Amino acid sequence: MASSQPYPAGSVEQPARQPRNGLGTAGFVLGLLGLIFSPLPLVGIVAWPLVILGLILSLLGFFRAKRGEATNKGLALAGVVCSVIGLVICILWAAAFGKAVNDVNEEAGREVTVRYEVTGDAPNASISYTTFGDGNMSTNEENVSELPWSKELTTKGLMKGGSLTVMTGAEGGSVTCTVTVDGKDAKSSTAQGEFATASCDGFGS
């Protein structure tokens, strides 16, 4: 029985060379990891190098596959998509963070007008109020024998914890404390009787 011999005697069949596909695979893995990390606050910062490198490698792998030098065109394309989406999310996070920082800086530098006012029929009262300056708060006290009383302050930004407190004396009477910030009512309180206290506090931000 005659046998067919497709190769010359003594020759060895050479296996077909498989196209390389490491770039596309690596790009897909990095892009997918970057996409997973990108929405996470703080942790998402590591997504930047992942999605950028993933995009570069995925594009290289995609074009290699397009030229027939690799076999993972679909995987490389998936890596491009994951990397691009992750990069967009990273950019949106950076823009949101930058806006938040800018808003905080603007608020800290904003000029704020605080007006304290005490009204009532108490013949005398002890008034304690917060002043703001150079990033610090301090407390001032005044004893008044006639109402109404008012004080207006201007500061850069307004720290939380401001207060206005008024206490009647032994003669009693009624007192009302009012705090306005930039013309808007922030706090108001009324007290009546001997050594009664009206407190307007915690209006800062």
Domain ranges of the chain: 22-108, 111-201
Q: Is 20 left (phi over 0), alpha (psi -120 to 50) or beta?
A: beta
pTM over cut 0.75 = no
Distance CA 41, CA 64 (A): 35
Cα-Cα end-to-end distance for the chain: 100
- Per-residue pLDDT tens over the stretch 191-202: 999 999 999 887
Q: Could you say which of 2.60.40, 3.30.565, 2.60.120, 3.30.1490 is the CATH number of the domain covering 111-201?
A: 2.60.40
Distance CA 47, CA 89 (A): 10
Identify which of 85, 18, 30, 90 has the alpha carbon closest to the alpha carbon of residue 54: 30
Identify which of 92, 74, 84, 101 has the alpha carbon closest to the alpha carbon of residue 31: 84
- Per-residue pLDDT tens over the stretch 41-95: 777 788 899 999 999 999 999 998 888 888 888 999 999 999 999 999 999 988 8
- Up-side HSE of residue 201: CA atoms within 13 Å toward CB? 12
- Per-residue pLDDT tens over the stretch 86-145: 999 999 988 888 888 777 666 666 778 889 999 999 999 999 998 876 667 788 899 999
Both tokens of 124, joined, read 């005398």
| pLDDT, position 54 | 93
